[in-house]
Amino acid sequence: MTAPEVITSLQNALVKRLVRLRTRRERELDGVIVIEGARETTRALASGVSPSLIVTCPALYSPEALAVAPTLTGERVELSRTAFEKVSGRENPDGLLALAPTPRPALPDPDENAVVVVLHGLEKPGNVGAILRTADAAGAHAVLVLGRGADPYGPNVIRASQGSVFRVPTAVLTEAEAQAWLLQHAFTTVACTPDAPQTYWDAPLTGRVALLLGTEHEGLPEDWRSAQTPSALSVSIPMHAAPGGADSLNVATAAALVLFECVRQRRSFSAGPQPEAFL
């Protein structure tokens, strides 16, 4: 069997294209996402994503990539170490990257205890990825991404979520589309804001609940704080008020606290099987 041709030139058309796809604009123009890393690629495929191209560099394979690469099917190309490092968005790439059509998941009909997370304008990929990972762990029904914040299918979000973005239906919607969907399914909206008088553990968080999270520096817009749904709540997370101490929480931390309060309250009302552990 003839060994596959290895692309070595940094001026190669595919190498140049992969470099361009590191920007959101180019990915949107091409209608593709870039999935880099063995773990992320494995979780994407397990969630039904079909890569249009697999890019490999055996010289950079991690043990996980070495195990995963032979199982991948579809068109593939091999790059030299220098070429792969050029197209990679990581400091220590593991030699595995895939392109796939941009996912556009339909939002499944929510059950009576569905929890969704609504992200309004969040800009930091690390925060969006961490929230997606927590939403996955907490069994969230979906994540709705509003505004031109971080690209939920950008490589940095995919990495920060460790592939959870492919496991939790993640839809990019306009504000009007999101509000209409929440109204249609009679969600209680829960605005997470530091000036709310009610703490999150005192709020009723069973039934269909939509957690609303805004940016750390601006918070939620007023129309989302008072969202017109059958039931709208605002909750805060109490903090130690020592002089000079922290006056706010990272939005991903805030999301984790409220999401797992939803989990706790549902456990209190459910006689079904419970998770063995939280990792």
Residue-range domain boundaries for the chain: 6-101, 115-269
pLDDT of residue 276 exceeding 60: no
Residue 132 pLDDT more than 70?
A: yes
- Residue 218, pLDDT score: 72
Residues 1-17: pLDDT tens digits? 455 689 999 999 999 99
Rounded (5°) CA angle 177-183-189: 100
| 188: Cα within 13 Å, side-chain hemisphere | 18
Summarize the confidence of residues 23-33 as an average pLDDT. Answer: 96
- Provide the pLDDT for residue 249: 81
Check whether 278 has a pLDDT greater than 60: no
Mean pLDDT of 104-123: 93
Residue 67: is its pLDDT beyond 60? yes
Residue with the bigger pLDDT between 224 and 61: it is 61
> Is the separation of the CB atoms in 36 and 89 below 8 Å?
yes
SS3 70: helix
Protein fold of 6-101: 60s Ribosomal Protein L30; Chain: A; (3.30.1330)
- Would 6-101 and 115-269 be classified into the same CATH topology? no
In the predicted model, is pLDDT for residue 42 greater than 90?
A: yes
**What SS3 state is found at 125?**
helix
Kindly tell me if the per-residue pLDDT of 181 is higher than 50: yes
Burial class (CB in 10 A: 0-12, 13-18, 19+), 6: middle
- DSSP code, position 248: S
Fold that domain 115-269 belongs to in CATH = Alpha/beta knot (3.40.1280)
Residues 194-236: pLDDT tens digits? 888 899 999 999 999 999 998 877 777 777 766 555 578 999 9
pLDDT for residue 244 is more than 90:
no
Across 119-123, 148-152, 221-225, 234-238, least confident range: 221-225
Could you tell me which of 112, 167, 109 has the C-alpha nearest to residue 135?
Answer: 167
